[in-house]
Structure 1
Amino acid sequence: MPLVSLDNTITLAISVRDRHASAAWYKDKLGFELLYHMDNAGWSELRTKTEGVTLGLGEQAEPAPGNSVPVFGVADIAVARGALEADGVRFDGETETIEGMVSTATFYDLDGNALMLAQDLSGAS
């Protein structure tokens, strides 16, 4: 039995220079649907053509090409993080929360690849 119970969502997070321009590119080129721009957090999200999979765009002055961080949805981030930490999984800093939106926690696999847990706080799911 797995340590963490994931929900049926995944967000592929990538860094971009201009979220608005990138969102338009993904819409025009791949037919993704803009869900929202959260300008105060430097984040935009688009619905892909795959059920339960979104693309998150994090604005960075100098994005690292080829980066992607899978973000796994969980019902309770504290429980999920606690189970993984108890099993020796390394996390990067504290859990971050944007009130009324999301809580996230970055962790690493055996090879140092970044992964993230996210708990939706918007009440939409």
Structure 2
Amino acid sequence: MSLVKLNEMITIAMSVTDRHKSADWYQKILGFEVMYHADEAGWSEIKTNTQNVTIGLGEHTKPAPGNCVPVFGIADLDNARGKMEDAGVRFDGPTDVVEGMVKTATFYDPDNNALMLAEDLSGAA
């Protein structure tokens, strides 16, 4: 039995220098659909051709090469984070909240690979 219950959505977060240009590339080359651009959050999201798998593009002036973070959807991030921290899982700072959009928390596996939990706050889920 697992410690927390994830939902059926996976977002693969990637750092890019220009979200709009990258989203256009994924649309043109791979046929992915641009879902939205959240300019105020520096974030764009595209729908892949795999059900319930999206790619999130976070805009950074100097993205890390090869940067890719799997983001797992979850209904109650605070509860899950508490259980994971009690089990010794290391998190990268406090939970980030973009009101009316999303709540996220980055954590690490035993090999120091970054992963993220995300709770939808938009009411759309």
Normalization by structure 1: what TM-score?
0.99
User: C-alpha displacement at 1:97, in angstroms?
Assistant: 0.5
Partner deviation per Cα, 1:42-94 (whole Å, 9 max, x = no partner): 10000000111000000010111111000000000001101100100000000
**Which ranges of structure 1 fall in alignment gaps of 5 or more residues?**
none
SS in 1 for 2:65: coil
Equivalent AA in structure 2 for residue 43 of structure 1: W
Partner of 1:88: 88
Alignment of 1:66 with 2:58, yes or no, is no
User: C-alpha displacement at 1:112, in angstroms?
Assistant: 0.4
Fraction of identical pairs, as percent: 65
User: C-alpha displacement at 1:22, in angstroms?
Assistant: 0.3
Partner of 1:54: 54
**Which ranges of structure 2 fall in alignment gaps of 5 or more residues?**
none
SS in 2 for 1:35: strand
| C-alpha separation in 2, matches of 1:120 and 1:89 | 22
SS in 1 for 2:49: coil
SS in 2 for 1:29: helix
| C-alpha separation in 1, matches of 2:82 and 2:28 | 41
Normalization by structure 2: what TM-score?
0.99
| C-alpha separation in 2, matches of 1:17 and 1:82 | 33
| C-alpha separation in 2, matches of 1:45 and 1:51 | 14
Structure 1 consecutive aligned stretches of length 4 or more whose deviation exceeds 2 Å: none
Partner of 2:75: 75
| C-alpha separation in 2, matches of 1:93 and 1:62 | 21
Q: How many residues align?
A: 125
Equivalent AA in structure 2 for residue 90 of structure 1: R
- Superposed CA RMSD in Å reads 0.5
